[in-house]
Amino acid sequence: MTALTLYRSDGSCSMLPHILLKYLEIPHECVAMRGNGGPYTKPRLEAADGSLSAEDYVKINHKGVVPTLVVQGSDGSRTVITEIEAVTSYISSLAGDKHAYGRTPLEHAKVVEWVSWLAGSVQALALSPGLAPERFTADEVGLPGVREMGLQRMKAAMVRIDERLRVGDTLGLGLGVDGYFTVADFYLYLFYSWGYLFKYDMAEEYPAFRDLAQKVEALHVVKEVVLHDNLKLQFPE
């Protein structure tokens, strides 16, 4: 039997595969990781319980980031999967009847489009520089400019997401219709919650985005992961 181990950290994008594993009811183990406060030029993530150093972690995932999914096969094989799209795509394949990556080839392509854009353009080029500009430059004089660029891009992304939801440009999303959600729905929920880190009034400024996020958070497994990561629910009952 295949065994899965997810290396994750609280409040990060690794919440996405964690939510997906629970949503699809796939058995797994988790290893909680945390930053060690070191420079971004060196390994920074270590096990929260001290059982794994940052140097040891890069022997598992040479990139030293999360998420990392380790797949232990019944034949003794061991495969390491990294990058959010690859990790969630593999997890989805283990429960194909749930169609977390779309029910048709066209839907699948649009889920990939959403996830690729969110990971590559919004998270990497907006959220990350907006919150941690020191990851992108060692020049202290340049930090404000990097942060400002991230803030501008993040704001533009929130506007674009809300607009697409408002006009119905939603192929690739389940939207909770008949209880159906895709990976893209879950990923969008994370960005909604991260919007508050930028002091946005998400519910007021982006009502269509709010409606989707509320449907996603209504799922028990989503609430469970949010609280597990010591975060606040966006729509407490």
Length of the chain: 237
Model's pTM, two decimal places? Answer: 0.96
- pLDDT of res. 41: 85
Q: Give ∠ CA 125-182-153 in degrees, rounded to 5.
A: 15
- pLDDT of res. 191: 99
CATH classification (class only), 105-219:
mainly alpha
Query: For 77-106, what is each residue's pLDDT tens digit?
Result: 999 999 999 999 999 999 999 999 999 999
- pLDDT of res. 237: 78
Report strand pairing: 29-35 vs 78-82. Answer: unpaired
Separation of alpha carbons 206 and 39, rounded Å: 36
Among residues 232, 190, 135, 136, the alpha carbon closest in space to that of 8 is found at 190
List, for the chain, all residue ranges whose pLDDT scores fall below the cut of 70.
none
CATH classification (class only), 3-98:
alpha beta
Mean pLDDT taken over the chain: 97
- pLDDT of res. 43: 92
**Domain residue extents for the chain:** 3-98, 105-219
Q: Is 103 exposed, middle or buried (0-12, 13-18, 19+ CB in 10 A)?
A: middle
